[in-house]
Structures are given as structure tokens and as C-alpha cells.
């Protein structure tokens, strides 16, 4: 082995493999895995050059090492650009991307100079290290593009952090920015020390990776409340912060509630009630998933499902009515298996609501606030076993012609007459 370089290369390759195996569904993690894999190959290649630094002439393959180093740098920059795509648009975005592109071009310039004059690059550094002096001014031809590229990436990284990217990615960005100077300095250290510096840089980044997966673990527990693969896919592509940003959107809300649940709970043991609720929640979640619904709340004997947030659907009204009928068709029989006295009421209403994440660290709640939420809840309260109460706006927007009883009535908490329609499970 060449003074530990191979060990450092294996660590980098292993880290890349870990990111690929555990999180390849994420575009940012795939790009990062490719970067780390290239880093491992580059470290191994540079380790082979150490044995030939003072040879004249250098082996022909040495000319390609600069290109390999540039490929590593470009791949790292591509990861930064991927992270940038998880952040909502702001004025600094174009400037930051331009800085990264310029840095990539400088790394290619470095690779071309190494290919053109490898002896000047490696002989001069080797002699300077052996004689414990500064390299000649000619060596600056190689140093200046590399340093300029690194400085541009650091500045672009600061701009990216100011844009507050996804929390999990922030951790990896901090770790990458902290590790970069250590890895850069390792390029000009004596061969007996450079592997140690490279290992320290990798450990810094490894810490960021571990923190990243801790955050993803907490996030996974949070996301499991919604049971929507569409939401999970959106988070992987755009990040939690972007997917769940606080904003006003048009949604359709579906509420359901078990009828005569209180009497059942009083007449049965807590274990029996728990089994009922477990089966009920599973059936509701499965139905919501089929229609792209986001389960916002499951509390006691009630559930609240959003259609249209955080994933928008142009046919959200039709989806919501389909979900309501599915709940009566699939969930109600589940309840009847536990007791013929149990039933299910469903309320559906649409409108503009404010949605977004509330909470910090590992404790999150996805909130939806607006008249549509309140109306759906009130209509659910009015619904008898087997009934679906729908507001007029939702029924008209669905484009469906459903047999239903039209009613105009006052609803608690809403000071005007509300036109609603009542569907029954047999409809």
C-alpha cells in the first residue's frame, strides 16, 4: 500500500456505496454516491502517481490523473446543483449556478494543464516537499485554477445555505464545506501525512451523512402518518421543505367518523377497542392511498384526508367523491364485523386552505386551516351511518351526475345557509 491512500480510497468508495444502496431513490443521493465513488477512484489513482513523481519521463497514464481529479470536482458540483433544485426559486439562484459552472470550467482547465505538463505538476511538488521549500512560481499555473474553483464553490455553498435548503441537505452541505479545505490541503501535504488528512476530511463528511440519515429517520416516522406514495416521491425529488412549504392551495377535504363508537368503547375492553381502531385506520389509509389522499389526522374514531395537498390534482373533487364512496364501501363493512351497531359517516367539502409544516426537529405536524376543513368536519357530524354529505361546490366541480338529496341548512360555525347533497351507501 502507498502510505494509506488505498485505505482512504476504500472508505470513499464504501461511503458512495452506502448512499447508493440506502437512498438511491433520491436524485441528490445518487449524484452524491457517484461523486464519492469517483473520489475513491481518484485517491487510488493519485496514490499510484506517488511512486512515479520523480521519474523522467512520467508514465503516459499520469496525464489522465488531472482529468480524473476534475471529474471528481465536477461531480461534487453537480450534487450542489441537485441540492439547489430542492429550494424554491429566489433571485440568487442564477448567480449561484453560474458560479458553480465557472468552477467546473476551471477544474477542466486544471486537467488540461496537467495533461500538457505533468512533469511540472508532479516533479515540482515532489521536489518542494522533499526540500521543504515553496514550489516555484510556475507551479501556480496549476494551483490558481484549483484554488479559484474551490473558492467559487465555497461562495456558492454559502449562497445556497442562505436560501435555506431542505434541512437534511443542509447537514450534508455544512459537512461538505467543512471537509473541503481539509481535502484540498491534503493535495499538497507530504505523502506520509496526506492520507491522514484525507481520512479526517472523510470523517467530517461521514458525520454529516449520519446526521442526514437521522433526520430522514425522523422524517420517515412523520411521513408514515400520511401513507401516500405521491407525497413520499415528492419529498424525495424536492425535499421536505419545498414539498411541505406553507402556502394557500385549493383542496378537497374528506372527513369520516365512526357512528356509535362511544357506546362500543364503553361496552368493550380497551384491547378490543384498540383492535377495532387498528383495523379502521388501516382500511382508511388504504382507501386514501388509492385516490392520492394525504391523511392529515387520525384521532380517536375520526380521520381527515386532504386531496390536493401537498400534491395537487386537477380532478381533486372527483377523487374526493370517489374516496368517500370507497370509504363507505370498504371501511363500513370492516366496522360491521366488529359490531352491527357501528357505522360510518362521511363529509366532503372543497375550497382554499392554508397548508404547511408546523414543528421543529423530529416533531412535525402537517396543518391545513380554512373554511373547507371546518365545513367537511361539520358535514361529517351531520352524516348518518352510510351517508356521504357533500357541499355543492365539490359536487359541481366533480362533473359527476350522482343521485343525491339536495338540502339547504345552517351548519354550526358557518353563519350562512349551505347547500349540500346527501349520498347514501346504496347509491
Per-residue pLDDT of the chain (427 residues; tens, 9 = 90+): 455 777 788 888 888 888 888 777 777 788 888 988 998 888 888 778 777 766 777 788 888 888 888 888 888 888 878 777 666 544 445 677 888 889 889 888 888 888 888 877 777 777 776 777 777 787 777 778 888 888 888 888 787 777 777 677 778 778 877 887 777 677 656 666 777 887 888 888 778 877 877 776 666 655 555 445 555 566 656 666 666 667 889 999 999 999 999 999 999 999 999 999 999 999 998 999 889 888 887 778 899 999 998 888 999 999 999 999 999 999 999 999 999 999 999 999 999 999 876 665 555 566 788 889 999 999 999 899 999 999 988 988 887 766 677 777 767 767 677 788 888 655 4
Q: How many CB atoms lie within 10 A of CB 298?
A: 18
pLDDT for the residue 126: 72
Question: Counting runs of H as helices and runs of E as strands, what totals does the chain give?
Answer: 16, 8
Q: How many CB atoms lie within 10 A of CB 75?
A: 20
pLDDT for the residue 123: 73
Residue showing cell 351497531: 341
Q: Which residues lie closer than 8 Å to 222 by C-beta, 6 or more apart?
A: 362, 364
CA angle (21, 24, 28) in 5-degree steps:
130
- For residues 226 and 297, what is the distance between their CA atoms, to the nearest angstrom? 8
- For residues 301 and 187, what is the distance between their CA atoms, to the nearest angstrom? 63
pLDDT for the residue 91: 47
Retrieve residue 109's grid coordinates: 482547465
pLDDT for the residue 57: 78
CA 170 to chain centre: 11
- For residues 420 and 406, what is the distance between their CA atoms, to the nearest angstrom? 6
pLDDT for the residue 93: 57
Retrieve residue 154's grid coordinates: 465555497
Contact by Cβ (8 Å): 343, 387: no
pLDDT for the residue 154: 81
CATH (residue range 229-424): 3.30.70.1230
Retrieve residue 164's grid coordinates: 435555506
Domain boundaries, the chain: 5-223, 229-424
Residue showing cell 450534508: 172
Amino acid at each position: 500500500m502507498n502510505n494509506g491512500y488505498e485505505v482512504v480510497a476504500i472508505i470513499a468508495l464504501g461511503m458512495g456505496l452506502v448512499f447508493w444502496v440506502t437512498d438511491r431513490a433520491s436524485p441528490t443521493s445518487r449524484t452524491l454516491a457517484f461523486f464519492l465513488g469517483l473520489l475513491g477512484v481518484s485517491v487510488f489513482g493519485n496514490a499510484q502517481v506517488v511512486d512515479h513523481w520523480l521519474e523522467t519521463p512520467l508514465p503516459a497514464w499520469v496525464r489522465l490523473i488531472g482529468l480524473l481529479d476534475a471529474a471528481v470536482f465536477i461531480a461534487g458540483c453537480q450534487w450542489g446543483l441537485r441540492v439547489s433544485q430542492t429550494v424554491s426559486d429566489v433571485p440568487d439562484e442564477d448567480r449561484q449556478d453560474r458560479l458553480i459552472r465557472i468552477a467546473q470550467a476551471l477544474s477542466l482547465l486544471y486537467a488540461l494543464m496537467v495533461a500538457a505538463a505533468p512533469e511540472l505538476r508532479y516533479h515540482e511538488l515532489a521536489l518542494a516537499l522533499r526540500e521543504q521549500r515553496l514550489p516555484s512560481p510556475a507551479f501556480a499555473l496549476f494551483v490558481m485554477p484549483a484554488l479559484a474553483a474551490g473558492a467559487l464553490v465555497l461562495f456558492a455553498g454559502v449562497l445556497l445555505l442562505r436560501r435555506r435548503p431542505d434541512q437534511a441537505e443542509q447537514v450534508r452541505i455544512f459537512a461538505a464545506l467543512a471537509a473541503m479545505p481539509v481535502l484540498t490541503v491534503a493535495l499538497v501535504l507530504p505523502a506520509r501525512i496526506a492520507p491522514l488528512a484525507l481520512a479526517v476530511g472523510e470523517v467530517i463528511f461521514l458525520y454529516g451523512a449520519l446526521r442526514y440519515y437521522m433526520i430522514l429517520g425522523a422524517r420517515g416516522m412523520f411521513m408514515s402518518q400520511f401513507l401516500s406514495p405521491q407525497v413520499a416521491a415528492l419529498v424525495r425529488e424536492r425535499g421536505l421543505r419545498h414539498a411541505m412549504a406553507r402556502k394557500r392551495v385549493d383542496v378537497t377535504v374528506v372527513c369520516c367518523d365512526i357512528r356509535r363508537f362511544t357506546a362500543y368503547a364503553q361496552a368493550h375492553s380497551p384491547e378490543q377497542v384498540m383492535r377495532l381502531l387498528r383495523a379502521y385506520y388501516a382500511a382508511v389509509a388504504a382507501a386514501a392511498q388509492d385516490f392520492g389522499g394525504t391523511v392529515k389526522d387520525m384521532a380517536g374514531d375520526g380521520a381527515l384526508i386532504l386531496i390536493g395537498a401537498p400534491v395537487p390534482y386537477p380532478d381533486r373533487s372527483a377523487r374526493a367523491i370517489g374516496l368517500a364512496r370507497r370509504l363507505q364501501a370498504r371501511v363500513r363493512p370492516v366496522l360491521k364485523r366488529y359490531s352491527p351497531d357501528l357505522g360510518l359517516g362521511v363529509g366532503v367539502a372543497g375550497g382554499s386552505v392554508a397548508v404547511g409544516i408546523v414543528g421543529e426537529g423530529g416533531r412535525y405536524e402537517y396543518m391545513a386551516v380554512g373554511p373547507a376543513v371546518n365545513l367537511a368536519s361539520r358535514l361529517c357530524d351531520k352524516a348518518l351511518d352510510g351517508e356521504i354529505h357533500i357541499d355543492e361546490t365539490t359536487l359541481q366541480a366533480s362533473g359527476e351526475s350522482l343521485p343525491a338529496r339536495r338540502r339547504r341548512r345552517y351548519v354550526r360555525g358557518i353563519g350562512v345557509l349551505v347547500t349540500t347533497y346527501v349520498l347514501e351507501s346504496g347509491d
